[in-house]
Structure 1
Amino acid sequence: MTSLSFSDLTFHWPDGTVVFDGLDAVVGPGQIGLVGSNGAGKSTLMRLITGALRPLRGSITAPGRIGYLRQDLGMQAGQRVETVLGIAEVRAALHRIEGGVGEPEDFDTVGVQWQIEDEAIALLGKLGLDYVAGSVADLDRTLDTLSGGETVLLGLVAELLREPDVLLLDEPTNNLDAVARARLYEVIRQFAGTVVVVSHDRELLDRMAGIAELRGGEIRSFGGNFSDYERIIDQEQEAARAAVRDARSDVRKQARELVDARIKLDRRQRFAQKMQDNKRVPKIVAGLRKNAAEVSAGKLRTSHIEKLDTARETLDHAAELVRADREIRIELPGTRLYPGQDVVTLEQARLSNGPVVDLRVSGPERIALTGRNGAGKTTLLRRIVAEQPKVAWRLLPQRLDVFDEQRSVFENVAAAAPHATAEQIRGQLARFLFRGGDADIAASALSGGERLRAALATLLLAEPAPKLLMLDEPTNNLDLPSLAHLTQALASFEGALIVVSHDARFLDDIGVTRTLELTPDGLVE
């Protein structure tokens, strides 16, 4: 079992943004979930581990081979399966040898990999891709014949064929159906080396042996799974909030005592001055008393000021421990639908990939649309759009490409809601956590979580207000706070909802009322 260690790791982006500054940490061994908000540096850390990025200072120790499944697989539609798996050159050499035209360099290329085709097909089958490459000939297939989920699994097989000692997985469950996820979980469980997983999939994170939290450029390790981590953080936050309350109370107390002390000192000084003016004490005695009083007053004042400063420092420290995880709080009464109100009707609609479907949506239903990878779920959403729903609708695609990339968040929402005033738009955007100058950032410069919030704002604040919202794999690439933001926003939506997702926890959280599975024979409830 191998661990990853970081010593004085320092990395800044070219624009000066600091990601890590002297990071010292150890991650592993075993199965570790790497968590942190969008922009915390999770993917950057993985790229540093693989050598795709070079640190400004410090070192990373990662014994053995590194396997890395990226979020963006970088595959081309025309690529063959064998190319993605990294076995094209070996296969070509094998075939030349088997055909009796092999050269000495072909034997060098093959080395000990005489069974590489069988090994590749076995691994593909283990992950449920036997229908992708069930024979040697299928290794010549191109990626444009595969679904998004199938390409993710194909990328994982490519890494496993290299027999890594450390496996880095960045959002590995994106686009995977429930069956594929179960197979992925099992492969991770059986992996003998160290696995580091970045994921929003809480079921996967609950299968981890440990959690490493990346926050503020530092890594903190927790034993147990994600649920254990959440309990620890919740307990710490409860204690931190209590400490803030106590510290604020102490600041108020010290401030009152400082005021009281000043009042008392002022009274003493007035009394002493009055005694001197009335000549009730000799001048020399009055002078001595005055000096003594000033020294005493100075000490007393300094003591109370020091206590107040200490109380404020304690409050500042306690406040730093409280996590400012903000919530989306919006109201969308314009999206309201009533029970029985017709929204979508499809009768014997044949999808381009084969299935014939019947679908009726009425009232504020919340429908989960599931099915195997490649079943045609995205195709069905497009068919619904083509048939023109009976109410105002909006579609949130997987890539969140619903706005003009060169326009700001404010400008995109304003274009979708031309009759709203600038004040109304900015007020609503503030509820989507785009406050002040944040609303003026160009869409192209948004992080993943910001992009989701901007897309939701653009759709939900549009005119007319949407009464049907269709979401295609909305949880892909989201960190956990962003996933919470999505759930909060959908809680305010009062129309019909159709969600393509395989995240069971998310579907429970948004209150799905029906689950439909798309099969080759149509929709099954």
Structure 2
Amino acid sequence: MPHSITLSKITWSTPDGHTLLSDLDLTFGSERAGLVGRNGVGKTTLLKLVTGDLAPQSGSVTVVGTLGLLRQSVQIAPDETVADLFGIAEALDLLARAEHGEASAEALAGADWTLEARLAAALARVGLDAEAGTPLAALSGGQGTRAALAALIFREPDFLLLDEPTNNLDRDGRRAVIDMLAGWRAGAIVVSHDRELLDTMDAIVELTSLGATRYGGNWSAYRARKALELAAAHRDLADAEKHAADIARTAQAVAERKARKDSAGRRKKARGDIPRIMLGAMKERSELTSGANARLAESRQAQAAEAVTMARERIEVLQPLTVSVPPTHLPASRTVLRMEGVTAGYLPERPVIRDLSFAMTGPERVAVTGPNGSGKTTFLALVTGQLQPWQGSVRLFTDAAMLDQRVSLLDPALSIRDNFRRINPEADENACRAALARFMFRADAALQIAGSLSGGQMLRAGLAAVLGGARPPALLILDEPTNHLDIDSIEAVEAGLRSYDGALLVVSHDEPFLQAIDITRRLEL
């Protein structure tokens, strides 16, 4: 029987009663399917329904085959090793005892002599230089993700379920995951905002507030199809609005004709031209006709209004977000940042950065790249003054704002609105609300407490506070800005940064993002 995952008539709501998935039908076969959609639409929830971690309020989930789930964070014990992660510690111990002649014939009957070779092959597929005895605690976050993915493919499940597998990975790690999935021939459901990874998919499944839609082909094919759908949706909206206007004009014309006819009837009645018995019949007929016409007009107008509403809702789902940024007027000749002969680190005799000289002039756009552990975060700490150099000097010549991965410039105890007013004290309430609305914080959404926001919402709020004021800083420093954003939000940020005329200093492993914001120079650490 072919392997498959089938979700039939699935409905699931959050504990506070918000319906996230409604009457959802989806089927996945032996394919690589990218699951996309805006943050909060239910992508991770769908994976949990498939694994059984959540139960639907109605409907059913049927899985034919085995599942392998990559969790975003897993607690590990201090003494756990790669072999423990793979679940093969005892089997490897048996092989070691066999090599030393210490295993019984009965134990040897169950020995798997291919185990070490298969372990090495799984680690190699994700580009991880580790061994069975390597402690998990010795691995970086990115290496740990790669090890967990290697453990999944080692078990050869019929379906991989991956939730943001390339988050926090350096360039080599991302490439290893992308290459592994490009060669994966079983089933996979991948929740991701990594457009390079999504371009290796066989299909894209988009979750929206209107349901789920499957698109054949990879991310690029999906985006092309969406552009056509958006153009068609705008035409449908224009047609619906024209139809509604035509119906309104027709109803108005009918009402005006009736008013004129009624007026003429009243004049004849006043002159006594019509017998009383005929007047009664005419009045009754007029009232019946008037009521029928009113009900018909009301029905037609309601249908037309509903068609307009549905067309607008479709555009809201399809329409990319946009962000506009006021100018900084940074002169092209202005020195922004200068570092001369900088050596720095955290432990004596172990510098992270050694003898680095670097300068930025005018509205340059510089990407700081390099593998995990190469000193990118240290470099940003030097630029922002959070870390002082052991040797050399660091000087900033313009105002600057830093958005780190925790968006620590926001006070978690304050609302988004109050954070904006604190960072932009010159902005009045109208300017504040208008700026926040551009970043999708409208009405009561602007009153959310910063500490309660998701990672993606937090970054959007930080960007709104920094870029939404009347005069943004001349230097904007971003540390992995796309890690917690959905793709629509990433593209909105890209659009905003393209219109930003200041200097950009960006740490990111997201190559499509760096290309989209027109990086002019790279500093490889």
Task: Pick the TM interval, shorter chain.
Answer: 0.7 to 0.9
Deviates more, 1:465-474 or 1:192-201: 465-474
Q: Which deviations, in whole Å up to 9, do the C-alpha atoms of 1:286-316 show, x marking residues without a partner?
A: 4434444444444444443333233223323
Q: Which deviations, in whole Å up to 9, do the C-alpha atoms of 1:492-511 show, x marking residues without a partner?
A: 43321111223222112111
Name the structure 2 match of 1:16: 17
User: Would you say the 8 A contact 2:126–2:149 is kept in 1?
Assistant: no
Distance 1:301 1:57 in 2: 42
Distance 1:113 1:411 in 2: 62
Matched residue type, 1:412:
N
Matched residue type, 1:227:
S
Q: Which deviations, in whole Å up to 9, do the C-alpha atoms of 1:130-173 show, x marking residues without a partner?
A: 2xx2x55xx324434x4433222122112112221100111122
Distance 1:461 1:323 in 2: 22
Name the structure 2 match of 1:404: 411
Distance of aligned partners of 1:116 and 1:389 in 2 relative to their CA distance in 1, 3 Å threshold: farther
Distance 1:314 1:158 in 2: 51
SS of 1:476's partner is coil
Name the structure 1 match of 2:51: 50
SS of 1:327's partner is coil
SS of 2:73's partner is coil
Taking the TM superposition and a 5 Å limit, the aligned residue runs for 1:94-493 are 94-96=95-97, 98=99, 107=107, 111-130=110-129, 133=130, 135=131, 139-144=133-138, 146-216=139-209, 218-324=211-317, 325=319, 327-333=321-327, 335-350=328-343, 352-353=351-352, 356-385=355-384, 386=387, 387-418=394-425, 420-460=427-467, 465-493=472-500
Name the structure 1 match of 2:347: none
The TM-score, its normalising length taken from structure 2, stands at 0.87
Instruction: Specify every segment of 5 or more residues in structure 2 that has no aligned partner in the other structure, as ranges.
Output: 345-350, 388-393
Deviates more, 1:236-245 or 1:91-100: 91-100
Matched residue type, 2:217:
G
User: Would you say the 8 A contact 1:261–1:301 is kept in 2?
Assistant: no
SS of 2:315's partner is coil
Distance 2:336 2:115 in 1: 52
Distance of aligned partners of 1:378 and 1:432 in 2 relative to their CA distance in 1, 3 Å threshold: same
Name the structure 2 match of 1:514: 521
Distance of aligned partners of 1:213 and 1:404 in 2 relative to their CA distance in 1, 3 Å threshold: same
Matched residue type, 1:3:
S
Distance of aligned partners of 1:44 and 1:112 in 2 relative to their CA distance in 1, 3 Å threshold: farther
Distance of aligned partners of 1:302 and 1:420 in 2 relative to their CA distance in 1, 3 Å threshold: closer
Distance of aligned partners of 1:463 and 1:251 in 2 relative to their CA distance in 1, 3 Å threshold: closer
The percentage of aligned residue pairs carrying the same residue is: 37
The alpha-carbon deviation at position 188 of structure 1 amounts to 1.0
Q: How many residues matched? A: 509
Distance 1:172 1:83 in 2: 21
Distance 1:392 1:103 in 2: 73
Distance 1:380 1:290 in 2: 87
Q: Which deviations, in whole Å up to 9, do the C-alpha atoms of 1:410-453 show, x marking residues without a partner?
A: 23333334555455433432332222211111123223331221
Distance 1:433 1:65 in 2: 40
User: Would you say the 8 A contact 1:336–1:364 is kept in 2?
Assistant: no
SS of 2:148's partner is helix
Distance 1:443 1:112 in 2: 55
User: Would you say the 8 A contact 1:9–1:23 is kept in 2?
Assistant: yes
SS of 1:8's partner is strand
Distance of aligned partners of 1:117 and 1:471 in 2 relative to their CA distance in 1, 3 Å threshold: farther
Matched residue type, 1:221:
R
The alpha-carbon deviation at position 239 of structure 1 amounts to 1.8
Taking the TM superposition and a 5 Å limit, the aligned residue runs for 1:53-72 are 53-72=54-73
User: Would you say the 8 A contact 2:68–2:161 is kept in 1?
Assistant: yes
Distance 1:119 1:353 in 2: 36
Name the structure 2 match of 1:522: none
Distance 1:79 1:488 in 2: 45
SS of 1:58's partner is strand
- Choose which of 507, 518, 521 in structure 2 pairs with 1:500: 507
Distance 2:419 2:291 in 1: 60
Distance 1:356 1:9 in 2: 59
User: Would you say the 8 A contact 2:125–2:150 is kept in 1?
Assistant: no
Deviates more, 1:435-444 or 1:80-89: 80-89
SS of 1:197's partner is strand
The alpha-carbon deviation at position 195 of structure 1 amounts to 1.0
The alpha-carbon deviation at position 77 of structure 1 amounts to 7.8
The alpha-carbon deviation at position 398 of structure 1 amounts to 2.8
The alpha-carbon deviation at position 209 of structure 1 amounts to 0.9
Name the structure 2 match of 1:32: 33
Distance 2:144 2:428 in 1: 45
The TM-score, its normalising length taken from structure 1, stands at 0.87
Q: Which deviations, in whole Å up to 9, do the C-alpha atoms of 1:210-262 show, x marking residues without a partner?
A: 11111237322121122222222222222222122122122222222222212
Matched residue type, 1:501:
S
User: Would you say the 8 A contact 2:170–2:370 is kept in 1?
Assistant: yes
Matched residue type, 2:517:
I
Distance of aligned partners of 1:207 and 1:430 in 2 relative to their CA distance in 1, 3 Å threshold: same
Deviates more, 1:461-470 or 1:20-29: 461-470
The alpha-carbon deviation at position 42 of structure 1 amounts to 0.6
The alpha-carbon deviation at position 34 of structure 1 amounts to 0.7
Distance of aligned partners of 1:6 and 1:497 in 2 relative to their CA distance in 1, 3 Å threshold: same
User: Would you say the 8 A contact 1:39–1:447 is kept in 2?
Assistant: no
The alpha-carbon deviation at position 7 of structure 1 amounts to 2.2
Matched residue type, 2:10:
L
Name the structure 1 match of 2:348: none
Matched residue type, 1:500:
V
**RMSD of Structure 2 on Structure 1 (CA):** 3.0
Deviates more, 1:202-211 or 1:273-282: 273-282
SS of 2:413's partner is coil
The alpha-carbon deviation at position 184 of structure 1 amounts to 2.0
Q: Which deviations, in whole Å up to 9, do the C-alpha atoms of 1:13-62 show, x marking residues without a partner?
A: 32223222332221233111111110011111112222333333433222
Instruction: Specify every segment of 5 or more residues in structure 1 that has no aligned partner in the other structure, as ranges.
Output: 519-525
